[in-house]
Amino acid sequence: MSVVHDQHTETNPWEAQAARFELAAKKLNLDPGLWKILSQPAREITVHIPVQMDDGRIELFTGYRVQHSMARGPAKGGIRYAPEVNLDEVRALAAWMTWKCAVVDIPFGGAKGGIICDPKKMSRGELERMTRRFTAELIEVIGPEKDVPAPDVNTNEQTMAWMMDTYSMHMRQTVTAVVTGKPIEIGGSRGRREATGRGVMLVTLQAVKKLGRLPWDTRVVVQGFGNVGSYAALLLHEQGFKVIGIAEWNCGLHNPNGIDIKKLFEYKAATGGIQGFPGADAADQNELLVSECDVLVPAAMENQITTLNAAKIKAKIIVEGANGPTTAAADDILQEKGVFIIPDILANAGGVTTSYFEWVQDRQGYFWKEAHVNAELEHIMVDSFQAVMHYAEAHQVNNRIAAYMLAIDRVASTIRTRGIYA
């Protein structure tokens, strides 16, 4: 099952995605024509966005939108603002979105977008002007029936509100369903903010149950205390798991008796970070990743578990809250160690699933209670976990390749049924 890796594959998310796709496609005996279609994005858009900065100068930002597949429905995927955004990263994330939507069986294809910028060095006004101009540049390719953006790294509900408003101004009518992850007062869904973390919690519960463990005897380390990591930690804590470590980009916390995540939420809200939290000892954020624990939740960025640290991982279960946190080369090492991995395209699919609920509610003009959103999410996440486990056992493959096989099978079946327009 191993694949030949080189340094480029190790660090390039598109190459890593392609390596997993190839393994799964071979296992499925995928038709060569479908292989060609699914191995490349359907459309890649690059735009250069002029923005007037607060000091009067004009800055030119580069933005991308990649639509990998729209066979099963409108493309769906987040938009990230970061200095390291590049086309290969966006391509990989778009493909992962295609597979993620197919794994949880919702009627979307995959897309992703990003702008090369450092939002920490930009004012609110500069971010708004950049977001609105980026939206205007994409006006022909996004829309409720075409491509539905959402928040991602360094974007949030406010970013989506600006996008929705800009799109609506161009359409001369309010179009709430053009983006998801919006504020509730303008068509957002209850439960959306916590949804990715809730999905992580739900599949973690399924994994410990499958492996014969109990939540209160299970020690968890979470990497990342942004939207995904913080809510995953909080919801796992509420389920009785002992969250003993939190790793952030600049610091870490450790308490072998468990960290009170509710108090950590309050502390972060008051101070803006987790550093100095009195309910835990300071710890090296990189050491926490390889520390003694039962469940590791990487919920930060790509390429966190690599050939440099995979052999040192002590967790029995890895639940990928982030997209692409484990490199393809590291997968082989973890498989040899017998680590039970819940791959990103299943583990963090709670976000896009609840985005789907938001899109449905916007189109209906009828909004659900939070309990209903959470119940529907649980139903889909548990069913999807069972479907991936079934594929893994039936085909004698690891969980990641099983998830890819399930997803590719569903997308390929749709393309076969629709046929090729010529």
List the beta strands (DSSP E) in 235-382.
242-247, 252-254, 281-283, 295-298, 317-319, 340-342
Residue where a domain terminates, one of 298, 314, 347: 347
Domain boundary among 347, 380, 404: 347
Comparing CA positions, the residue from 300, 301, 298, 322 lying closest to residue 310 is: 298
Are residues 330 and 204 located together in one domain of the fold? yes
Residue 414 lies in a domain: no
Whether 52 maps to a domain, the answer reads yes
Query: Does the residue 78 lie in any domain?
Result: yes
243 and 326 belong to one structural domain: yes
Q: Are both 130 and 239 inside the same structural domain?
A: no
Give catalytic residues, as residue numbers: 112
pLDDT at 6: 54
Q: Is residue 279 part of a domain?
A: yes
Q: Where does a domain end: 293, 318, 347? A: 347
Alpha-carbon distance of 126 to 139, in angstroms, equals: 20
Q: What is the largest CA-CA distance in the chain?
A: 65
Please indicate, yes or no, whether residues 259 and 297 belong to a single structural domain of this protein: yes
**Statement to judge: residues 306 and 174 lie in one domain:** no
Please tell me whether residues 72 and 114 are part of one structural domain. yes
Domain shared by 63 and 173, yes or no: yes
181: left (phi over 0), alpha (psi -120 to 50) or beta: left
CATH number for position 117? 3.40.50.10860
| Tokens of residue 354, six digits | 């609840």
Q: Cβ(241)–Cβ(261) under 8 Å?
A: no
Q: What is the pLDDT of residue 1?
A: 44
Closest by CA to 159, choosing from 183, 194, 138, is 183
Considering the domain architecture, whether residues 336 and 204 belong to the same structural domain is answered as: yes
Per-residue pLDDT of the chain (422 residues; tens, 9 = 90+): 444 445 556 878 898 899 999 999 999 999 999 999 999 999 999 999 999 999 999 999 999 999 999 999 999 999 999 999 999 999 999 999 999 999 999 999 999 999 999 999 999 999 999 999 999 999 999 999 999 999 998 999 999 999 999 999 999 999 999 999 999 999 999 999 999 999 999 999 999 999 999 999 999 999 999 999 999 999 999 999 999 999 998 999 999 999 999 999 999 999 999 999 999 999 999 999 999 999 999 999 889 999 999 999 999 999 999 999 999 999 999 999 999 999 999 999 999 999 999 999 999 999 999 999 999 999 999 999 999 999 999 999 999 999 999 999 999 999 999 999 97
170 with 306, same domain?
no
Confirm whether 292 is domain-assigned: yes
DSSP 311: G
Q: Looking at the structure, do residues 313 and 212 belong to the same domain, yes or no?
A: yes
pTM of the model: 0.94
Closest CA to 351 of 174, 180, 158: 180
- Residue 97: give the domain boundaries: 42-185
Is 21 inside a domain boundary? Answer: no
| Structural domain count, the chain | 2
User: Residue 325 in contact with residue 302, Cβ under 8 Å?
Assistant: yes
76, 147 contact by CB (below 8 A): yes
- 248 within some domain: yes
Please report whether residue 287 resides in a domain.
Answer: yes
Strand pairing report for 252-254 and 109-116: unpaired
Is the domain of 95 the same as that of 121?
yes
CATH number, position 240: 3.40.50.720
Q: How far is CA 196 from the centre of its chain?
A: 8
Q: Are residues 72 and 173 in the same domain?
A: yes
Question: Is residue 357 a contact partner of residue 380, using CB atoms and an 8 Å limit?
Answer: no
Bridge partners (DSSP) of residue 183 are none
